[in-house]
Amino acid sequence: MTTACVSIWDAVQNHIVKKIGMKRHNLWMKHTVLKSIDDTTALIGVPNLFIQAWLEKKFRDDLRDSLKQVVGKDLAVKFVVDGALFRQMRELQDREGVTTLISRPKAPLLAESCALNPRYTFKRFIVGPSNQFACEMALKLAQSKSRDLNPLYIYGSIGLGKTHLLHAFVAEYKRLHPDEVVTYVTCEHFVNQFVTAVQTGRTEGFRSNYRSTDVLVVDDIQWLSGKKASQQEFLHTFNALTSRDRLIVAAGDPYPRNISGAADALVDRLASGITARIDPPDYATRLAIVHARAAELKRPVPEGVARLLAERFASNVRELEGGLLKILAFHSLLDKPLNEHMAADILRTERTPAAAGRTSLENIVRTVAAHYNLTAEEIKSNRKTRSLCLPRHVAMHLAKTCTRYSLKEIGAHFGGRSHASVLQASRAIEGKSSADPSLAEALRTLKGSLGLVANREARDLRPAAAIT
């Protein structure tokens, strides 16, 4: 920063203070600098992305105005995150013991966090022997912030409530500690943000953002498998947070040791606090889940129907819920009271592994959708965003290689695609999975969850080894 910049910025700040008041200025602009200025643009350095977003949204016009008053020209205002400013802000706060809104916004860093499902609360989580420990640990950590429970890693097969518990933890934590910053992200989001930050030269901003959170909650940690640079970055974030006693909660399908292509350090860190496994729920818990969900939908079901569902869907709560929704949807078209015979008939229309000796296409769609945190409709849609294409191709690939449906039938199920598109999608996944261990792992996990064995790959007979 040149001396000219310093004096221009001093003058601009004086101006701004008059406009917005000292309090707001101190809150948002105390740690900013004018990094450069030319005929068209003023580049302003800020300590983190949160402040940048706030300045852009609330104060861009004021800044432009004040700059115009000082330099006599209408300039475009741009921002850049500057790691040195972040450190300077932190040091000052540590020294003064200041807890300002700048580092403790009441709201989470929304731009950086993923959305929470408001239905995923502790109240709605049915506890049984299979998930009791995980649930208790998550609740206890939210209530006590006990460092003994830090980090908490929840793991288990797909559809057993890991994401539900993470969202419940975040909601409860925010309720109990409203002044703290809680960042919830899927690991995929973390990785994508990191890659973008590297590509755009904004790693400092990325880092300062993640390292200034009080609690970091990361879902689907297996997404890191085989991604060396992202793992390294996650480890640095992890270390930076835990060394300052910040909390970390993560969830993933495999036990840390079984995350394929995970660095030893990552495995050690994830296993260094509490690891809590969720198993498939027992019969009584499944029954309770069906009744609770039906009551919530204001469509209570007879005991026989609940039993039928609990017997039929033993290994995945998402599928259990899916079975209930299917019965309720069909039943609403009929003008007869619901009973277990009718429910069995409705379920028979779906080719479940037990019923037809092969997995239904809809089962594959739903399981893949759940794995990638999408809806079945998104998988089957025509939208071509990258985050949808890969899961869609994975689903088509599983359908092609692990079921006896024809390419035409598969294409028809996936939103009316041609048999050539199915073939192309499947080949693309075959190619990618041999070069991408995380994709290979995802395929294995999905096949395990679906109880699938590839038609042509006898060597793939091993179960989803990662799930312990």
Contact positions vs ligand ADP (CB under 6 A) = 120, 124-126, 131, 158-164, 289, 317-318, 321, 370
3-state DSSP call for residue 79?
strand
Is the Cβ of residue 47 or residue 161 nearer to Mg ion in the bound state? 161
Is the Cβ of residue 103 or residue 113 nearer to Mg ion in the bound state? 113
Question: For residues 350 and 412, what is the distance between their CA atoms, to the nearest angstrom?
Answer: 16
Cβ at position 445, least distance to ligand ADP in Å? 10
Cβ at position 342, least distance to ligand ADP in Å? 24
The residue among 409, 404, 439, 433 whose CA lies nearest residue 422 is 409
Question: For residues 356 and 209, what is the distance between their CA atoms, to the nearest angstrom?
Answer: 51
Q: Would you say the C-alpha torsion 11, 15, 21, 24 has a positive or negative sign?
A: negative
List binders of Mg ion among 158-197 (CB under 5 A): 162-163
Please, which residues have CB within 8 angstroms of residue 234's CB and are 6 or more apart in sequence?
187, 190, 218, 224, 266
Q: Kindly state whether residue 445 participates in binding Mg ion, applying the rule CB under 5 A.
A: no
Is the Cβ of residue 318 or residue 413 nearer to ligand ADP in the bound state? 318
User: Residue 56's binding partner, choosing from ligand ADP, Mg ion, none, with beta-carbon cut-off 5 to 8 A by kind?
Assistant: none
Question: For residues 205 and 63, what is the distance between their CA atoms, to the nearest angstrom?
Answer: 21
Tokens in use for 348? 């028979």
The residue among 219, 258, 240, 214 whose CA lies nearest residue 109 is 214
Cβ at position 224, least distance to ligand ADP in Å? 16
Cβ at position 73, least distance to ligand ADP in Å? 54
The pairing of strands 41-46 and 33-37 is antiparallel
User: Residue 12's binding partner, choosing from Mg ion, ligand ADP, none, with beta-carbon cut-off 5 to 8 A by kind?
Assistant: none
Is the Cβ of residue 59 or residue 155 nearer to ligand ADP in the bound state? 155
Is the Cβ of residue 33 or residue 467 nearer to ligand ADP in the bound state? 467
DSSP calls for 323-351: HHHHHHHHHTTSSS---HHHHHHHHHTS-
C-beta nearest to ligand ADP: residue: 161
Q: Kindly state whether residue 275 participates in binding Mg ion, applying the rule CB under 5 A.
A: no
Cβ at position 34, least distance to Mg ion in Å? 45
Is the Cβ of residue 131 or residue 225 nearer to ligand ADP in the bound state? 131
Cβ at position 168, least distance to Mg ion in Å? 13
Is the Cβ of residue 151 or residue 159 nearer to Mg ion in the bound state? 159
Cβ at position 158, least distance to Mg ion in Å? 7
Is the Cβ of residue 103 or residue 183 nearer to Mg ion in the bound state? 183
User: Residue 417's binding partner, choosing from Mg ion, ligand ADP, none, with beta-carbon cut-off 5 to 8 A by kind?
Assistant: none
Is the Cβ of residue 63 or residue 158 nearer to Mg ion in the bound state? 158
User: Residue 394's binding partner, choosing from Mg ion, ligand ADP, none, with beta-carbon cut-off 5 to 8 A by kind?
Assistant: none
List binders of Mg ion among 134-163 (CB under 5 A): 162-163
CA-to-CA separations, 46 to 204, 383, 403, in angstroms, rounded = 11, 36, 54
3-state DSSP call for residue 53?
helix
Size of the site for Mg ion (CB under 5 A): 2
C-beta nearest to Mg ion: residue: 163
**Crossing angle for the helix pair 317-331 and 361-371, to the nearest 10 degrees:** 130
User: Residue 120's binding partner, choosing from ligand ADP, Mg ion, none, with beta-carbon cut-off 5 to 8 A by kind?
Assistant: ligand ADP
Cβ at position 220, least distance to Mg ion in Å? 6
User: Residue 177's binding partner, choosing from Mg ion, ligand ADP, none, with beta-carbon cut-off 5 to 8 A by kind?
Assistant: none
3-state DSSP call for residue 179?
coil
Please, which residues have CB within 8 angstroms of residue 368's CB and are 6 or more apart in sequence?
379, 391, 394, 395, 398, 446
Cβ at position 194, least distance to ligand ADP in Å? 22
Cβ at position 164, least distance to ligand ADP in Å? 3
Q: Kindly state whether residue 285 participates in binding Mg ion, applying the rule CB under 5 A.
A: no
Burial-class residue 247 by CB neighbours within 10 Å (0-12, 13-18, 19+): buried
Q: Kindly state whether residue 403 participates in binding Mg ion, applying the rule CB under 5 A.
A: no
Q: Kindly state whether residue 359 participates in binding Mg ion, applying the rule CB under 5 A.
A: no
Please, which residues have CB within 8 angstroms of residue 427's CB and are 6 or more apart in sequence?
none
Tell me the chain's radius of gyration from C-alpha atoms.
26
Is the Cβ of residue 32 or residue 163 nearer to Mg ion in the bound state? 163
Cβ at position 297, least distance to ligand ADP in Å? 12
Tokens in use for 170? 């975040």
3-state DSSP call for residue 38?
coil
Is the Cβ of residue 119 or residue 244 nearer to ligand ADP in the bound state? 119
- Please name the residue that has the structure tokens 């261990």: 437
User: CA dihedral defined by 416, 422, 428, 432, rounded to 10 degrees?
Assistant: 90
Which residues form the interface with Mg ion (CB under 5 A)? 162-163
